[in-house]
Homo-oligomer: A and B are copies of this chain.
């Protein structure tokens, strides 16, 4: 287990999407986040107290979470130097980057000498089976997206909390590093070996008999040419009864690929339902989730209304507007007029 509370690392980041792990923790587990660490050239903030490593240790922080992401997930020299300084100050390190802390001899040596721990949350467990596509007991919802980083984890967490508030048992099943840090378990799906993608999801969402829901965090997009294989295996392993399509309305191209445009919501939903039908022919769409954080409230509400009308599905920004209409559709309660 990773020792808490956390100091959240922003470093030199100036890309809001690149700090989504740190921000996710600050939003969904504020009680275990004592502060943020950022260099002077970082103009982003999580609205947590800014601290250096010594200050964080003084207020009780146990672990520095390297909660930043970048395509390919490399550990740069600046990151290694900061991690080394944090170890020296008395912190353990947790990282969700592809490149592992354990593969950096300088950090391994230093942690060993100081008696500190290095946690690579992208290391999958060793006993993941090949998927078998067999129907499992229980109900499952999967979030899917037009692109990477469009709000799938937030939407999934909001749905889990809202279901619990209605008295319906619901478990968030994490598939990415932020989700794992939030939930305390899950699978780092993008680090799983390709033949085991669907099997990994079958493993984290086994038979359930309590009439509750597994809310499974989606990854990538069927329309992202770098990562669609992950999204495909996730759909097959999840065998979802319901999917919610997530989208960022101001995204102009696929994340990291300026030469790739986004799919339409209609095409994206149809493709996801088609792929999902292989392991659950009864899959249905129950809602659209928009990340409207860059729009005014009036713009956001108008866009959600238009989208709901076009798509014939409830549409909201789960974080700012809730997910009640989506839950009505999911649970079969008639929507209010």
Contact = CB atoms under 8 A, between A and B. Distances in A.
Interface of A: 71-72, 98, 129-134, 189-195, 197-199, 222-223, 225-234, 236-237, 256-257, 259-260, 271, 274-275, 278-279
Nearest to A131: B226
Top 6 closest A-B pairs, CB basis?
A229-B233, A133-B225, A190-B195, A229-B229, A232-B232, A197-B229
A225 B132 contact: yes
A222 B231 CA distance: 12
A260 B133 contact: yes
Contacts of A98: 193, 195
Given A72-B129, A72-B130, A225 B198 contact: yes
B198 A190 contact: no
Nearest to A73: B195
Given A191-B195, A194-B193, A195-B191, A228 B236 contact: yes
B236 A195 contact: no
Contacts of A132: 225-226, 256-257
A223 B233 CA distance: 11
A189 B229 CA distance: 12
Given A133-B257, A228-B232, A197 B194 contact: yes
18 contacts: A71-B130, A98-B195, A131-B226, A132-B226, A132-B257, A191-B193, A194-B233, A195-B227, A197-B229, A197-B230, A223-B278, A226-B236, A228-B233, A229-B230, A229-B232, A229-B233, A230-B233, A271-B274
